[in-house]
Amino acid sequence: MWMRVPRSSIGAEKMSGSEPVYQEPPTAYWRAPSSYDARLREDFLASLKSSSTTLGAVPQPMQIDVLRRLHWYFTVDGRERAPTAIVGVEAAQAFHALIGEILQYVDPGLIGRFSDPAVSSEIRHVLYSWHGKPVCSAAILDCYDHAQQLVKLRYFVHGEPPVEAWLVDGKAVEPAFAKYRGCRYYHRSCMQQRIVWLPVAQGSKLQLRLNGQPHAIELDESGFFARSVSEDETFDLAGARAAFWPGRGGRRRSRPLLKSLKAGLLALYAALPWVRARYRRAWVFLDRHENADDNAEHLYRWVTAKQPQINAWFLLKPDSPDWARLEQEGFQLLAPNGLQRKLLVLNSENIISSHAEYGAGGFDPRVYAPYMRWRYTFLQHGTILNDLSHWLGPLQFDLFSTSSLVEYQSIAEDGGNYPYSKREVSFTGLPRHDCLLRKARERKPPSSKTLLVMPTWRGGTFEEQAKDLSADERQQLFAQTDYARAWKSLLHNPALHAALQQHGWQLSFMPHMNTLPFLDVFELSPEIRLVSVLDGHIQEALVSADAFLTDYTSVTFDIALLRRPSFYYQFDRTLFYGGGHNWRPGYFDYERDGFGPVAFSENELLQQLLAFLENGGEVPALYRERMERAMPLDDELACQRCFDRISSLNQPWQG
């Protein structure tokens, strides 16, 4: 929290001289609606107006002080599950107008110059965007793909996109892949970021012209505004090649001496003939360290059956409930910690995971950069429907698999918030969907139909309140939540149970893993069949579901692939997308795109379910068309497509 300008701020740390660098305000500050209106007026605007009136202009130190506090609004909003999600569209419009009024008192030139290590280049451009002047930053070359002979360049664009021309050794070259990423904060597109993958082969000189004028290309973000460039200035591509390690190591930078020596010794050990004989050009698969039964397991099984020449390994903890099952099946299993894992990864050609965070293979890139030669494939755990760009954006993928056409477009095409293009993002389908479709095809007609109830978890406010409580206190707190009360009431609804019984249906309940410790709160009756996510039979449960009842889970896409209807019970949507769960809505609109009706009350949901049962449990044409449009890959070839794309990652780009 901060005090009014120009007094010293509460929690201000001295950095250099007497200028304070402000600490980030606590979560409670961002959850208070007044922080986006009254606090801005009182803590920023009033002082600026007073100073301008009294002195005729706002002193530069005061302007800098404002920027050092104001940036936190956008720095925090740019994070995954930010508490700033409480700001809705209407409140955001008033917020942006107020920010614009505050920034009228700030010299635009100061935004790029003021010193504060907490402020990223992007946030500086966000602050600059209120000045409305068309300008482009320098193009930063931040990746060199030695195998594909592509370079990645990016620059920020304020105003209309310029006419862009790239020249390699004086000859015009078209980008292999390109997009404009939308830089959105509080529901406002502040500016765009141009992202280009350019084929350079063995070229030596690179030039960029915007609107016919030469434009600066840099290896580092050396300044906020692009410097002036002469007509004959070129960027040295040979120097760029030398500046980047092959593989995932990134820029060649100085490394800690002692740790680097240890890393070098480990790399030498990994290169010994008997180690190489075991792990050479390995494909390393993993889901979670604690369990399997996700896309990596399914793709591993396909690869070892169809492409036995691949040296495939699967990482899993020996105490995992899946270890014995996979060992019996013949998987080459290895524990995800210890020396052997390090030797395996250092010899690997590909790391392939259903989760996003293993791109560095468990190594510190600051130390192991020269030895990180593998490609990283993100298979995903499910289909993305919310905006996950703040989480996934800072990560690096060589391949990013998607399973829904609209999901693919929202991530890879112009205007989306993700910094990925069609180079990384591929419309392959999820490997586990092949098995899901096969099981559905082989399913025998059931004696009774099943309505599967599968709510997602609620984090956010509940987890903040419960973090310091005992197990009993957490149980009591959970029982008092609207989430627990709403789902418990529905699960015990006598009219629902009577209708299901009348039409020959049964009710199955699969609670989220985080809900399992609170299962007693629901007081499940014997007629409800409990399905645990820990049993390892999730696909069987989905195949057995003739209809699906959820709130917000992406599993609705798996059900849509099977051409079965979903029902969405969203009694708390305003809270869910308004900061209570810290999720941000994405491209998917439940009323417009959903695979079944949306209900906001138990009675409304009950009427929808009763009508569905009375109609024989048939899928209305409207929802079937949506399913087929969103999930067209029902050919059981997702594993083949994933394998083909992974195999192409180390081939030169062909155009």
Q: What is the band of 15 on the pLDDT scale with cuts at 50, 70, 90? A: very low
Q: Do 546 and 462 belong together in one domain?
A: yes
Average pLDDT score over the chain: 92
Q: Do 37 and 57 belong together in one domain?
A: yes
Rounded to whole angstroms, the Cα distance separating 574 from 580 reads 9
Q: Do 271 and 348 belong together in one domain?
A: yes
Q: Contact, 572 vs 598, CB < 8 A? A: no
What are the pLDDT digits (tens) for 598-633? 999 999 999 999 999 999 999 999 999 999 999 999
Could you tell me if residue 617 is inside a domain?
Answer: yes
Rounded to an integer, the average pLDDT of 426-430 is 98
Q: Do 475 and 591 belong together in one domain?
A: yes
Q: Do 124 and 160 belong together in one domain?
A: no
Q: Do 227 and 267 belong together in one domain?
A: no
Rounded to whole angstroms, the Cα distance separating 46 from 43 reads 7
Could you tell me if residue 391 is inside a domain?
Answer: no
On the 0-12 / 13-18 / 19+ scale of CB atoms within 10 A, 114 is: buried
Q: Which tokens go with 300?
A: 């591993």
Q: Do 234 and 260 belong together in one domain?
A: no
Domain boundary among 208, 243, 278: 243
What are the pLDDT digits (tens) for 347-357? 999 999 999 98
Domain boundary among 379, 400, 417: 379
Could you tell me if residue 233 is inside a domain?
Answer: yes
Rounded to an integer, the average pLDDT of 212-241 is 92
* N residues, the chain: 655
- On the question of pLDDT at 7 being above 80, the answer is no
What are the pLDDT digits (tens) for 460-517? 677 777 888 888 888 999 999 999 999 999 999 999 999 999 999 999 999 998 899 9
- On the question of pLDDT at 539 being above 70, the answer is yes
Q: What is the band of 224 on the pLDDT scale with cuts at 50, 70, 90? A: confident
Q: Do 71 and 155 belong together in one domain?
A: no
Alpha helices in 379-509 (DSSP H): 389-392, 405-412, 431-442, 461-466, 471-479, 482-491, 494-502
Q: What is the band of 20 on the pLDDT scale with cuts at 50, 70, 90? A: low
Query: Which residues span the domain enclosing 544?
Result: 437-636
Q: Contact, 314 vs 297, CB < 8 A? A: yes
Q: Is the peptide bond before 6 cis (omega within 30 degrees of 0)?
A: yes
Could you tell me if residue 396 is inside a domain?
Answer: no
* Domain CATH code at residue 227: 2.60.40
Residues paired with 139 in a beta bridge: 217
Rounded to an integer, the average pLDDT of 206-229 is 92
Q: Do 139 and 124 belong together in one domain?
A: no
Q: Do 514 and 454 belong together in one domain?
A: yes
Closest CA to 451 of 286, 567, 317: 567
Q: Is residue 624 helix, strand or coil?
A: helix
How would you classify the pairing of strands 135-136 and 171-173? Answer: unpaired
Q: Do 207 and 99 belong together in one domain?
A: no
Q: Contact, 490 vs 496, CB < 8 A? A: yes
Q: Which tokens go with 382?
A: 């499910």
Q: Quick one: pLDDT at residue 3?
A: 40
Q: What is the band of 580 on the pLDDT scale with cuts at 50, 70, 90? A: low
* Domain CATH code at residue 280: 3.40.50
Query: What domain count does the chain have?
Result: 4
Could you tell me if residue 14 is inside a domain?
Answer: no
pTM: 0.92
Q: Contact, 323 vs 316, CB < 8 A? A: yes
Q: Quick one: pLDDT at residue 464?
A: 76
Amino acid (1-letter code) at residue 55: L
Q: Do 458 and 310 belong together in one domain?
A: no
